[in-house]
Amino acid sequence: MTMTSDRPVSLPDDHPRASGAKPTPRVDVAGMSEHLLGRWPEWRRAARERATDPTFWKDESQSMAEHRERVLEQMKLLASEETHQVWLGFPERLGGKDSSGANLAGFEELVAADPSLQIKAGVQWGLFASAILHLGTPEQQDRLLPAAMDLSVPGAFAMTEIGHGSDVASVATTATYDPATQEFVVHTPFRAAWKEFLGNAAVHATAATVFAQLITNGVNHGVHCFYVPVRDPETMEFLPGISGYDDGLKGGLRGVDNGRLAFDQVRVPRADLLARYGAVAADGTYSSIIDSPGRRFFTMLGSLVQGRVSLDGAAVTASKLGLAIAVKYGAERRQFTSSSPVEETVLLDYATHRRRLLPRVAETYASHFAHDRLLDLFDDVFSGEKDTPEQREDLETMAAALKSTSTTFVLETLQECRVACGGAGFMTENRITSLHHDLDVYATFEGDNTVLQQLVAKRLVGDYAKHLKGSTKTPAGLARFVVDQAADAALHRTGLRRFGQAIADVGDPRRAAGHLRDTDTQRELLADRVATMVEDVAMAMRPAQKADPVTAARIFDENQVQLVEAAKAHADLLRWSAFTEALADIEDPGTRRVLTWLRDVFGLTLIERNLAWYLVNGRLSAQRARTVTSYVDRLLDRLRPHAVDLVDAWGYGPEHLRAPIASGLEAERQEEARAYYAAQRASGEAPVSEKSLKKKQR
Amino acid sequence: MTMTSDRPVSLPDDHPRASGAKPTPRVDVAGMSEHLLGRWPEWRRAARERATDPTFWKDESQSMAEHRERVLEQMKLLASEETHQVWLGFPERLGGKDSSGANLAGFEELVAADPSLQIKAGVQWGLFASAILHLGTPEQQDRLLPAAMDLSVPGAFAMTEIGHGSDVASVATTATYDPATQEFVVHTPFRAAWKEFLGNAAVHATAATVFAQLITNGVNHGVHCFYVPVRDPETMEFLPGISGYDDGLKGGLRGVDNGRLAFDQVRVPRADLLARYGAVAADGTYSSIIDSPGRRFFTMLGSLVQGRVSLDGAAVTASKLGLAIAVKYGAERRQFTSSSPVEETVLLDYATHRRRLLPRVAETYASHFAHDRLLDLFDDVFSGEKDTPEQREDLETMAAALKSTSTTFVLETLQECRVACGGAGFMTENRITSLHHDLDVYATFEGDNTVLQQLVAKRLVGDYAKHLKGSTKTPAGLARFVVDQAADAALHRTGLRRFGQAIADVGDPRRAAGHLRDTDTQRELLADRVATMVEDVAMAMRPAQKADPVTAARIFDENQVQLVEAAKAHADLLRWSAFTEALADIEDPGTRRVLTWLRDVFGLTLIERNLAWYLVNGRLSAQRARTVTSYVDRLLDRLRPHAVDLVDAWGYGPEHLRAPIASGLEAERQEEARAYYAAQRASGEAPVSEKSLKKKQR
């Protein structure tokens, strides 16, 4: 790893800009790095180790066709590994380890090798095989999973249709049961019902898990999943009735062969309806363990939440990679002369540069800790340890909240990293644009972020309504926990208002800043905002319950932007809470101190971002609000010497970053230039500048 | 062009959601489209016509090497055109038309064909040839320009070095005069001095305009430009002493062959120092028409402002293309059922979707009108009509302010368009990701946006200081004009404060909203913010003037973020003013009315974006601030039926957009699905849903 001159090397080491003589704490990089590996350190470490093997690296020079084949070969290596990382989530009786959490912990790290590999592997094991696992019966698992697991059957996950992206309940593909032959007839009735954007579909898939409306005896029982062979594995020709289309070039992820599939009266044996949540008897009688069609649908979809969980983790990983590159470069690169007439200023010593990058480092830490909690909850549910309907609902809400936040954040972050590195950031070899292109689609697949945010907001509003009724007491998952906290804060709102008023009367901004650094103050401000927004929206939408559909739609429309804002505020609170809780687990005092500053930066930039809300709603006085920005700036200045340590602690070395600008090359070049000028001055041959001559003449 | 059902087809046509029975105005699309062609309609029209020719389109399937050659071939076509669009800015005596404005008006439109073509052409005619034009003597122009103009000498513009991007004054390449041979020795002393990111350098350039420190008789006279052959035009091998490096793959613009150049004691005849602003006699005596080395340097750089002007125009064009695609798709695409149980809701009928796209349409109009003003000023200066030092300074400030704003805006806009189009937005065939990748680097080349914003802010602070001294009265260019306006507003600040207070006492938010719609209110709020921020920063930085360098640097650092914010606020005011002035020129009353709403959206979203500032600084009461967002939402609702008209008025047809999702295909597919369901219902064979059966059973 790069050693930079600005890293504090011993304790105590005064921060050059600190006014007092307080010793600057130091981040224990190795310890923190270990700590951040989380609950399944061995699997995450192994996966990260694998990502240093050039065999798994993205080769930017390849054509789309070559890239697709390379990724398939990489997947074969994953499938043949002795350790079988990609099988971890599958049942022990089939060679897996029934360890959903460990599986994702390792899987997310694939993004450091090549996001195309992460996504194409995700299609195979996280979607196609997982559909068999979660929607199939034990018999179907035994029969169909092994070939999906060992990649002898590459598969597509045929859910999305051209006409219906995030609205899965409305897919138009039909599977009509024919009792005469005991088969389902899978059919695409029109072009909008083509299955679209399916990974593996363009080239490699020989089978697909196809979502279609199950119709039997004239009744549509809603969306179910069918196992459908699509290509002859020998010739790789489409089977009769199947047709396809190669989506071709995309904005990124060119190693994934996305495509369309359509079905023309394709016959599927009755046994290949994945029948865990709905089965059809030989005579066409439908049965299900879940009576309500609505709940059945959401249970089936909910079992596939893994995709969203892993995208959240992958987005956090990509944010780390981008920021590590930009921060390391920013800690070496010099431009323009500022304080010294000889030496140019290091980029991170510019306030604007710190502002661009360091709050994003803080937000990435928050996202990391929140993702860890999400993984916990995911593992609790899918290990069966704490698998209740409420836990599942919490998991889905939290996954939606975090996935929609982190996959938007990563794009803004990579863009900021790109421009923060200037022209060098635009060079493919420096990774940032490549990661940006690949991660772009994460914001809309596995649930469009705006749709997910509405889902979260609806849950929050629903909880609020229950809370009002006082009739429901649900167990506390993490998501619920913080919502409760938010609700609690709402109850004490009057108190908080008085508190705000008290601050308004305090004349000294320094003191107000002291308050803002206070954990409880930050929590109250953030939680109160969620609670108030949810309450406001819930109240505003109340009339919709008894209105005609058109009026109800208008009321919904009028509150939609606020709904989404409430969901964002909720995700912010989730992440802030996770960061705050994580601080307690950090044992090294220096590390904890620096991380606490970083948490303060996160909390305060959230407040700064929504400052108008706090002012308009009387939660902060103008005078106090004025101190937020300057306090953030002071914290960023204080964090400056720790910037490189903070990104190093994420544990990505040169083989993960693979960016020449983050390799120390820049500092080497500067050293060479410095030596040249020193030699020139020593030789007495340095030219005089016209400017200085003119000054002397005056 | 697509006809959409939601476009008002006749007058008067009530907007379905308008509460009253007021007739909805209609945008005169054809008239507006003509109007927006601006001052050189024939050249812009011709360029736009050319962009419909597939010969000039970007071919996404090509490899980098193929793409580079294709773009060179396209440039040859441009050079051989009878009309010689690309020669417009050059002297009449050499075949040009001395019409700088017309040149850029056409040049910007190349982005609709392929941004790589725009940039590679920009390197050739806008940088390489322009350096000869603006920095060369008439003799040098006559001798060197023809081959640059007709592309028989493809050239690189060798200014940027690895070690010095935006800081041109510090380039390390030297050109030392040798009186013995009457030659300059051009030399790269170390790796950081390699000329980097140069378009044409990797493959096609046979010459370069090289910026180096001119040293003669032991004195460094600062950066000057030299004409240096770099490759043998027959063999395309580097000439002796020249070496290079291919930058290879970039995040976009893969049709531009960027690369590095280095010089090892390369000898250049004395006659090839471009000598307009600095010449060396045979004996090595240096002379210049500008005595101050600082002013000389800035004059030389300033003559190359054209690049920034044209990037502003290109960014506005790309924003239009992206938004036109996303708005047209959003006006057709349906997802989820909301108001109607049968028909799904059109995306643009969702408040969140309007919020994502329509304020960006408004901002793009503002940027368009501001760019028109910039082109005017550019033409005034470069035609010599109004070429004063003050006008040049105004032009440079305005170009920096607008280029830094529009090239950041376009990236955010294309990202938003991408996600607003879901998975379809990620497909390369739908153009948006491709435009995003290509435009990415616009944010940092021709001046890093953050550096440019600081340049603008310094100018504003400088003007403020002059204003305080009261000694300088400069003529009014547009840039100066609005700055003066801002300053005027500052003088009346007390009045404005009283006004704010008055509003605070008004109980009816409806009335407050009425005020916000008022042009004068918007102007005062926006101008006051610029003036106040400039004043605050100027005051805060005052102590730096008499401080030691380290303290001065600290003071600067502490105010840097605010400086950049002030520059952004200035650019916002510039664009708002241009939009407002443009309204007066729109003759059709319906069009003017809709455009006024759009201007209000722009003005109010600017205020909304900085609402905390207005609140903290007592410019808006909390009550009034609360109305801003809801008023914007109402305006967006009112603009909804005009959305497609507003993007159509930009004048880009299907051959410019070239995106299947913006072609009407989506509506066609929906029609097909609708027909299928209608037929099914008519046949009585439609399956009953389990859900509705269960309802009946209850």
Nearest CB to A549: which of B341, B349, B411? B341
Averaged over A472-498, what is the pLDDT?
37
Instruction: Return the sign of the alpha-carbon dihedral for residues B668, B673, B679, B682.
Output: negative
Averaged over B356-383, what is the pLDDT?
96
Could you report the per-residue pLDDT of A381-433, keeping only the tens digit for each?
999 898 998 899 999 999 999 999 999 999 999 999 999 999 999 999 999 99
With contacts defined as CB-CB under 8 Å, which chain B residues touch A445? Answer: 423
Closest residue on chain A to B680 (Cα)? A189
Q: What are phi and psi of B321, to 5 degrees?
A: -60, -50
So what's the pLDDT on residue B478?
33
In total, the C-beta contacts within 8 angstroms joining chain A to chain B are: 295
Residues B447 and B404: beta-carbon distance below 8 Å: yes
So what's the pLDDT on residue A584?
94
Averaged over B588-603, what is the pLDDT?
97
Nearest CB to B192: which of A221, A672, A690? A672
B19 and chain A: CB distance < 8 Å anywhere?
no
Averaged over B497-513, what is the pLDDT?
41
Residues B539 and B566: beta-carbon distance below 8 Å: no
Closest residue on chain B to A62 (Cα)? B63
Range with the lowest mean pLDDT among A228-232, B285-289, B321-325, B686-690?
A: B686-690
Residue B454 vs residue B495, higher pLDDT: B454
Element (H or E) spanning B264, and its range?
Answer: none
Most confident of A15-29, A485-499, B562-576: B562-576
Could you report the per-residue pLDDT of A580-611, keeping only the tens digit for each?
999 999 999 999 999 999 999 999 999 999 99
For A386, counting Cβ atoms within 10 Å of its Cβ (0-12 exposed, 13-18 middle, 19+ buried), the class is middle
Range with the lowest mean pLDDT among A199-208, A453-462, B28-37?
A: A453-462
How far is A539 from A641, CA to CA, in rounded Å? Answer: 48
A16 and chain B: CB distance < 8 Å anywhere?
no
With contacts defined as CB-CB under 8 Å, which chain A residues touch B162? Answer: 669
Instruction: Tell whether the model's pLDDT for residue B479 goes beyond 60.
Output: no
User: What CA–CA distances, in Å, run from B532 to B268, B469, B492?
Assistant: 52, 18, 11
Residues 511 through 570 of chain A touching chain B, CB cutoff 8 Å: 549-550, 552-554, 556-558, 560-561, 564
Instruction: Tell whether the model's pLDDT for residue B556 goes beyond 90.
Output: no
With contacts defined as CB-CB under 8 Å, which chain A residues touch B249? Answer: 60-61, 427-429
So what's the pLDDT on residue A164?
83
B468 and chain A: CB distance < 8 Å anywhere?
no
Which of the residues of A are catalytic?
A: 446
Percent of chain B topping pLDDT 70: 89
Instruction: Tell whether the model's pLDDT for residue B491 goes beyond 70.
Output: no
Q: What are phi and psi of A132, to 5 degrees?
A: -65, -45
Nearest CB to B352: which of A192, A193, A564? A564
Percent of chain A topping pLDDT 90: 77
Q: Global pTM?
A: 0.92
B691 and chain A: CB distance < 8 Å anywhere?
yes
Closest CA to A107 of A127, A91, A132, A93: A127
How far is B625 from B512, CA to CA, in rounded Å? Answer: 9
Res. B552 pLDDT band, cuts 50 70 90: confident
A33 and chain B: CB distance < 8 Å anywhere?
no
So what's the pLDDT on residue A500?
34
So what's the pLDDT on residue A514?
63
How far is A455 from A463, CA to CA, in rounded Å? Answer: 12
So what's the pLDDT on residue B467?
66
Averaged over A234-260, what is the pLDDT?
98
How far is A625 from B528, CA to CA, in rounded Å? Answer: 20
Least Cα separation, residue A175 to chain B (angstroms):
12
Could you report the per-residue pLDDT of A73-118, keeping only the tens digit for each?
999 999 998 888 899 999 999 999 999 999 999 999 999 999 999 9
So what's the pLDDT on residue B14?
38
B612 and chain A: CB distance < 8 Å anywhere?
yes
How far is A278 from B384, CA to CA, in rounded Å? Answer: 80
B356 contacts: CB under 8 Å, gap ≥ 6: A450, B416, B420
How far is B156 from B148, CA to CA, in rounded Å? Answer: 10
Residues 83 through 102 of chain B touching chain A, CB cutoff 8 Å: none
B287 and chain A: CB distance < 8 Å anywhere?
no
Res. A556 pLDDT band, cuts 50 70 90: confident
So what's the pLDDT on residue A496?
34
Instruction: Tell whether the model's pLDDT for residue B470 goes beyond 70.
Output: no
Instruction: Tell whether the model's pLDDT for residue A507 goes beyond 60.
Output: no
Residues 157 through 196 of chain A touching chain B, CB cutoff 8 Å: 160, 162-167, 170, 172, 189-193, 196
Instruction: Tell whether the model's pLDDT for residue B569 goes beyond 90.
Output: yes
Helix ranges (H only) for B470-588 are 478-491, 493-504, 509-517, 519-541, 549-583
With contacts defined as CB-CB under 8 Å, which chain B residues touch A553? Answer: 338-339, 345
Instruction: Tell whether the model's pLDDT for residue B510 goes beyond 60.
Output: no
Residues 390 through 419 of chain A touching chain B, CB cutoff 8 Å: 411, 415, 418-419
Closest residue on chain B to A552 (Cα)? B339
Range with the lowest mean pLDDT among A165-169, A335-339, A493-497?
A: A493-497
Residue A553 vs residue B196, higher pLDDT: B196
A695 and chain B: CB distance < 8 Å anywhere?
no
Range with the lowest mean pLDDT among A171-185, A485-499, B530-544?
A: A485-499
B672 and chain A: CB distance < 8 Å anywhere?
yes
Residue B541 vs residue B588, higher pLDDT: B588
| Mean pLDDT across chain B | 89
Contact criterion met (CB < 8 Å) for A419 and B449: yes
Least Cα separation, residue A691 to chain B (angstroms):
6
Instruction: Tell whether the model's pLDDT for residue A484 goes beyond 70.
Output: no
Range with the lowest mean pLDDT among A244-253, B467-476, B543-552?
A: B467-476
Instruction: Return the sign of the alpha-carbon dihedral for residues B301, B304, B307, B310.
Output: positive
So what's the pLDDT on residue B108?
94
Helix ranges (H only) for B588-650 are 589-609, 611-616, 622-639, 643-648
Averaged over A267-284, what is the pLDDT?
98
Contact criterion met (CB < 8 Å) for A558 and B672: no
With contacts defined as CB-CB under 8 Å, which chain A residues touch B352? Answer: 450, 454, 560-561, 564
| Helical pair B449-469 and B519-541, crossing angle rounded to 10 deg | 90
Residue A81 vs residue A502, higher pLDDT: A81
Domains and CATH numbers, chain B: 37-110+304-443 (1.20.140.10), 158-294 (2.40.110.10)
With contacts defined as CB-CB under 8 Å, which chain B residues touch A193? Answer: 673
Least Cα separation, residue B353 to chain A (angstroms):
9
